[in-house]
Amino acid sequence: MNVFSIEAIKYATETRHYIHTNPELKYEEHGTADLVASRLRRLGYDVVTGLAETGVVATLDTGRPGPTIAFRADMDALPIIEETGLPYASKIHGKMHACGHDGHTASLLLAAEGLAESADRFTGQLKLIFQPAEEGGLGAARMIEAGALTGVEAIYGYHNRPGYPLGRVFAKSGPTMGGSSLYEISISGKGGHASRPDLAVDPIFVGTAVVQGLQSVISRRLSPLESGVVTVTQFHGGNSHNIIPVNASLIINTRDGSPAAYAVIDKELRLVVAQICEAHNATAKISQQMRIPAVVNNAEETEFVIATAIDTVGADKAGRIDMLPTMGAEDFAFYLERIRGCFFFVGNGEDGAYLHHPLYDYRDEILPVAAGMFTAIAARRLAPR
């Protein structure tokens, strides 16, 4: 079930290279979506396009009673200038598949071919979700709103993982990728002249105290048994060389290793900002601009995926991981908030560039590995009872 012909793997590789050469940012994935939809229609899937603007959902209905499961791949690229020099490097300046979504899409398309050919062995329904805007666009949430999960009982997806052996398949039960929040803080003081700070309430000075105080959220307010990060990524204030401004603003990015950690970080961040501003006679307005929850895998589904991986690629190339492999966010979390499932990883090699780097490239060798996992999962979950 996990063995693909040389021709199929070659086609998947060419597809991956084409998508890599023609990257599209979040909600711009029109060309990629057209390619995906056209391929799936040729394979006999019932295809719906235009979900969440550029999303595609393909359904394989066996016509026999059984469960409905889903596989997901993301399609969007990043606003990064590629520096790989590869023959199939991006031809669009400033846009690059620096996270491997080209490979995620190509591997699910490879699996789609094998799954269509084996449909007579299945029961129930299979949905293939090709999602836009994973990179900061909350595409998963919008796909859910558009009905992508209707009737789905369990969902599976994966991410390639640089820094791990090429082709190794692994998963973690429970929290498995970090949640991420984006906050904007507006500090209001009292303007004045630089020569008389005593007559003003300097929001820049207050902001620097906030920057320092925020570090206590992790070091002194979050349990050392939990994971979290608070990073100030922007600080703006003033536009004159001799005037204390009225307002200053900060952009804060937080990461959390679990829903429990998020609850602490969110509460304590707001408290620290409010208390510091009050102590300096300033006021603060805190606005959460974005929230992606932590990826939390279902325990039973994770054990199932690990067992499937061991049978598919061998015990020496598969297993579980007990620590978070990354604090990076992944909006697959939105699916797992609604239904059970598992988000697993496939090693992209130990020596290559990391994700979101101008030198990163998805390794073609793992296309059949990931596709093999999809087909093996379907063979077990949709087997006749």
Q: What is the per-residue pLDDT across 278-300, written as a single tens digit (0 to 9) for each?
A: 999 999 999 999 999 999 999 99
Taking residues 17-40, report their average pLDDT: 98
CA angle 94, 80, 50 (to 5 degrees): 80
Query: Over 60: is that where the pLDDT of 57 sits?
Result: yes
Q: Strand 68-74 and strand 154-161: pairing? A: parallel
How many secondary structure helices (H) and strands (E) does the chain include?
9, 16
pLDDT range class, residue 1, cuts 50, 70, 90:
very low
Percentage of the chain modeled with pLDDT above 90: 97
Do 156 and 378 contact (CB within 8 A), yes or no?
A: no
How far is CA 91 from each of CA 87, 132, 251, rounded to the nearest angstrom?
Answer: 10, 20, 32
Query: Over 80: is that where the pLDDT of 145 sits?
Result: yes
Do 358 and 82 contact (CB within 8 A), yes or no?
A: yes
Query: Over 80: is that where the pLDDT of 268 sits?
Result: yes
pLDDT of residue 3: 78
Q: Domain 179-292, CATH 3.30.360.10 — does that match?
A: no
pLDDT range class, residue 61, cuts 50, 70, 90:
very high
Taking residues 101-114, report their average pLDDT: 98
Percentage of the chain modeled with pLDDT above 70: 99
Residues with Cβ < 8 Å from 20, sequence gap 6 or more?
86, 88, 89, 90, 97, 102, 361, 362
CATH hierarchy code of domain 6-177+294-381: 3.40.630.10
Q: What is the end-to-end Cα distance of the chain in Å, rounded?
A: 18
pLDDT digits (tens, 9 = 90+) for 197-221: 999 999 999 999 999 999 999 999 9
Domain with CATH 3.40.630.10 in the chain: 6-177+294-381
Taking residues 152-172, report their average pLDDT: 97
pLDDT digits (tens, 9 = 90+) for 76-98: 999 999 999 999 999 999 999 99
**Average confidence score pLDDT of the chain:** 97
Taking residues 98-103, report their average pLDDT: 98
Amino acid at site 53: E
| Active centre residues (catalytic) | 76, 134
pLDDT range class, residue 102, cuts 50, 70, 90:
very high
Domain with CATH 3.30.70.360 in the chain: 179-292
What whole-number distance in Å separates Cα of residue 279 and Cα of residue 256? 28
Q: Strand 247-256 and strand 228-237: pairing? A: antiparallel
